[in-house]
Structure 1
């Protein structure tokens, strides 16, 4: 049975195609449209999935959409009614869009696939698994587990903001409990993201990166946490929460919070996006991160007691918080925790298809024997690249041998050059890199700042992730959960760390950033943590060989590995995207498969 999965109309729209329960291809629309977090119908991603698999709409047995629009519309209507007349302005903006487009998704999908050439557009059944079911399926059916507990936490699906239960390869997915809108851990975290001046649904990872600049022992952070618990929410023993909606506007308004009340509560002005970050912002970010972790720990402890399962699958947008994931792992409540790299709404396309496949076909799932391979997007031929190079009339070097290519790239990295690395298929999900990466020397104290300012054009405090071969992980990092797709953090080995001054907490943010914290300063965050991507030879042999060759040359088996894009742009997808990003940034070298361009 061939199923086409679709997610769209909120953020991070995507398409995926599976056959008999096996994932063939998947891609986000933003990679094609070049619109960050593109929420539109995934026309290009859908066409890619069909073309690459050699299928047409006539070969598709079912289309799965990642949530239930009527349930979501019901939630909007009931919420507006409950808070009326407050929220009338938001209501007048939302309703025309829903009545024209979002409410009639089935008809809209049929119209779209007809425009894309489907002659059988009326025949293909369209199913609508619930939003959280799509999240759960995307995680469990790509996991190594035959059975596991699951926890899904995000902003909101239709009504649900958190759900838990048991997933089994034999019995399917059993939901044991849910938390409903407007009480939402994901929206609470997004509210702080908004107040600190970052963009909701894309800036949460910035707040996560800012949080370690706070001092958890400082009176400021302690006070902020106390105010959050006292005024913003009530935390139950099982990790469920009740928000004080007097402080929030997202249920009916056009903004996340009542800024006047928040400013009065915390004594901090709402930050505008271009305002300089202050210590107060870092302390508030740390308080929010700590509260998130506290709640999640309570939730998984309760889930362990309720289910008795040994393993846990995490999904939903909150599962992209790799710092919280590591805190949960280190609690040792479950033997193992699995997170799918596209844990947010993009992964909903994959999950919707997998959920329908297992329900319709009664497939027996025994857990994946090898790690889920997320290199599911487009790849490009040498001919395609040569055409680009001829059009641009740029000088390049072509390498017949991969060994010679790797040797040359290693030399450039050792010379402190920044490399745009493009090969193979595009990754699926924001936490999966290796084929569309920017690579650089991790031992250079200036590299972190230079990458942020001259290449990524983003905030100077932002950390960079390391990449290391599986065999060498223990040489550089303390024992922790090893992740092939940067979904957990690890601590840099104590023997590699530098001593911090006793008054370090009194430094300003920029001084804290500049201080050399380890022998790998470019990838060591302020708290000695790093969001490590571990490379398994079988998953990405070329990158594995590159790191090993660099280690043989320099004695260092770690590289900076950050996404191949600049601020506010999606990760590059095609050779054209990579070339444009290279030419419009401070990168020194571009590797397009076997072709190397040097500025």
Structure 2
């Protein structure tokens, strides 16, 4: 069985399952060099078919995230934008009018919203047909290969790759919106999933967080993590003021204790937020929305556990990119086990859609789904690396050295305080750099934060870096009494005193939490060896790890991207497989 999963829209992604195993997964941004690329993942599909040596006709199913084409399809920046006249042309005008009227009359706005939703369904159908036309023209897919998977069902099904087959778990899916929903609660057991609660998009906690992010002058659907990172700096009394304001906007439905209910439609909450949050401090707003999110999500989970008597939980959907929320859930006494879907925004929905394809296509063999392990599912470092490194212009700018033990060479540089970029083996999939496309540094040197930010990343000053920690050293550095697995940088932990001494540059400088990648030797032997060599030289069983990219760009994919990043930053060293490139000084 060969099944392709697709997320068409924000952060477009494609994946491939073969015989129940996820073998390929990549987001289109890595090929287009447009961060969170919006549209059809055409280049990703092309690479998957080529790398797997498959023809489109050999694919059993092509599974789309979402029962309808995404709303983002209608945006001009999408690569399958197609304007349509007549009554659909009034949709953007209707949306703008709804935002204005909502401040005057919620009831009238609700009526407009119903009409708007009806028109949007027509638009969804139109764009999906247009999407299929493009795919059929570009590839040899057939209509009988195509299936769609409801948005939050796809999110929830991602958990089947993390949870032991015989274990019963509660799956919580929460994001901005998808197929007119923003959150669901389901029970997963042996590949079967039963939804027990759902929340409409109009009552979306994810949209509220997004709108607050935009109110603060940042990009919605991208910079929410910056709001989360600022939250610990807020004075508690000032954050409390904002929290009490926001608390009046969203609570639990009296009809369904596992569903959220908003005072106003969240998609048109902007003007109210401007009025409610006027002259409130940036950090206080961050602290207030983060506290509300933590409180609502924790109460949501506790209510579901009480109702079902199931203490194992799985988290999926973009809201659970909020690693601090995940930490609090892991600490709840009601929670026995916690599983967090890696990179659980809509990019992971491609995986969930493909899982549904597998379960439907091979219902009698559903148990053959193989557990998700490492995320090194992308492109390899260039096959013709030796030839590329001989390019004359490159030699003039860089000293190129072949190293029989590149891991020890890099460890030497890190121990001496240097910052080294790493391009090695297969690219990791998802939002987190996991050592194959990473910038590495000594986590013991707090000043390295300023160096990396000023020379390379232009990162906001309050944002912490992450740590790649040898799995066998986890107990030395993180407080983890439940032994929560943390290989994907999807959850934070409180740190030990040793971590605060060894890793000051890789933990949050205010609350001393860490977002770790616990590095397993079996999953990435070369990266594990590098950190082990660093440990031999320093006694520290971890390195600072941040994504290998310039500010505003996606993580690098190949040597060309890596050299571009070096040429336009203060980076001096690049380890490419067994080669070390050192920038020549004039």
- TM-score bracket relative to the smaller structure: 0.7 to 0.9
Equivalent residue runs for 1:75-224 within 5 Å:
85-86=97-98, 102-118=124-140, 121-146=141-166, 147-170=168-191, 172-215=192-235, 218-224=236-242
8 Å Cα contact 1:322/1:488 also seen in 2: yes
Give ranges in structure 1 of 5+ residues lacking alignment.
270-279, 498-517
Residues in 1 aligned to 2:120 and 2:274: alpha-carbon distance in whole angstroms? 34
How far apart are 1:420 and its partner, in Å?
A: 0.7
Question: What value does the CA root-mean-square deviation take over the aligned residues?
Answer: 3.0
Tell me: CA distance 1:17–1:322, structure 2 relative to 1, closer, same or farther (3 Å): same
Give a deviation string over 1:410-443, Cα, whole Å, max 9, x none. 1111221111111111111113522111100111
8 Å Cα contact 2:470/2:518 also seen in 1: yes
Tell me: CA distance 1:544–1:175, structure 2 relative to 1, closer, same or farther (3 Å): same
Secondary structure of residue in 1 paired with 2:217: coil
Secondary structure of residue in 2 paired with 1:598: strand
When structure 1 is superposed on structure 2, of 462-471 and 99-108 the one drifting more is: 99-108
Tell me: CA distance 1:537–1:38, structure 2 relative to 1, closer, same or farther (3 Å): same
Tell me: CA distance 1:405–1:188, structure 2 relative to 1, closer, same or farther (3 Å): same
1:565 equivalent to 2:565? Answer no
Tell me: CA distance 1:439–1:144, structure 2 relative to 1, closer, same or farther (3 Å): farther
Secondary structure of residue in 2 paired with 1:15: strand
Residues in 2 aligned to 1:524 and 1:3: alpha-carbon distance in whole angstroms? 39
Residues in 2 aligned to 1:390 and 1:338: alpha-carbon distance in whole angstroms? 46
For 2:566, the equivalent position in structure 1 comes to 582
8 Å Cα contact 2:6/2:41 also seen in 1: yes
1:244 equivalent to 2:255? Answer no
Which of 387, 393, 402 pairs up with 1:399? 402
1:470 equivalent to 2:471? Answer yes
How far apart are 1:475 and its partner, in Å?
A: 1.6
Give a deviation string over 1:231-273, Cα, whole Å, max 9, x none. x223458353222327x5x34xxxx611xx434423426xxxx
8 Å Cα contact 1:14/1:27 also seen in 2: yes
8 Å Cα contact 1:341/1:428 also seen in 2: no
8 Å Cα contact 1:139/1:343 also seen in 2: no
For 1:257, the equivalent position in structure 2 comes to 270
Give a deviation string over 1:179-221, Cα, whole Å, max 9, x none. 0121001111112111122100000111111111113xx3212
Tell me: CA distance 1:72–1:101, structure 2 relative to 1, closer, same or farther (3 Å): closer
For 1:485, the equivalent position in structure 2 comes to 488
How far apart are 1:372 and its partner, in Å?
A: 2.0
8 Å Cα contact 1:339/1:487 also seen in 2: yes
Equivalent residue runs for 1:312-327 within 5 Å:
312-327=313-328
Give ranges in structure 2 of 5+ residues lacking alignment.
73-86, 102-111
How far apart are 1:285 and its partner, in Å?
A: 0.7
Residues in 2 aligned to 1:536 and 1:116: alpha-carbon distance in whole angstroms? 40
Give a deviation string over 1:87-137, Cα, whole Å, max 9, x none. 59999xx99x9799853355334433333342xx33542111100111111
For 2:506, the equivalent position in structure 1 comes to 523
Aligned length: 547
Give a deviation string over 1:464-507, Cα, whole Å, max 9, x none. 0011101111222222534101011122213554xxxxxxxxxx
When structure 1 is superposed on structure 2, of 441-450 and 101-110 the one drifting more is: 101-110
Residues in 1 aligned to 2:454 and 2:560: alpha-carbon distance in whole angstroms? 23
| TM-score with structure 1 setting the length | 0.85
Tell me: CA distance 1:486–1:83, structure 2 relative to 1, closer, same or farther (3 Å): closer
When structure 1 is superposed on structure 2, of 487-496 and 535-544 the one drifting more is: 487-496
Residues in 1 aligned to 2:122 and 2:320: alpha-carbon distance in whole angstroms? 33
8 Å Cα contact 1:135/1:351 also seen in 2: yes
1:548 equivalent to 2:516? Answer no
1:47 equivalent to 2:60? Answer no
